[in-house]
Amino acid sequence: MSLKNCVPSLNPMYRLQWENYQEAYVLLYPEGMVKLNGSAGEIMAMVDGKRDVTAIATALSEKFPEAQGIEADIVEFIQHAAEKEWLQLPADAVQAP
């Protein structure tokens, strides 16, 4: 399965929330916190365990029409977040060439 067609979900060890003090989305986990930059936070906020990566990219493209061609960046971030174990991907998900 292509990474674009997979449905990512948040690793249950993490909780995503908006922190007013940080003015950013953060990932909370038992040992600490990861402060996400703006685009990473927007992507993570779209991960709901129901939308696939293409649907996330489409929704963000509509939300930010000035950001042309962001799908590749979103796919790259999803892969990075999975490697960091912030997100879980289906076992058969592979990055598209």
CA-to-CA distance for 95 and 79, rounded, in angstroms?
A: 7
pLDDT of residue 2: 83
Eight-class DSSP state of 43: H
Residue position matching structure tokens 């999975």 = 82
pLDDT of residue 92: 80
pLDDT of residue 97: 45
Half-sphere exposure of 32 (CA within 13 A, CB side): 4
Taking phi first (over 0 means left), then psi (-120 to 50 degrees means alpha), and beta for anything else, what does residue 58 get? alpha
pLDDT of residue 91: 83
Domain borders along the chain are: 3-11+38-88
Closest CA to 41 of 7, 74, 12: 74
The separation between CA 37 and the C-alpha centre of its own chain, rounded to angstroms, equals 12
User: CB within 8 A of 40, min separation 6: which ones?
Assistant: 25, 77, 81
**Amino acid identity of 88?**
Q
Q: What is the mean pLDDT of each run of 10 residues along the chain (97 residues)?
A: 90 97 96 96 97 96 89 94 95 63
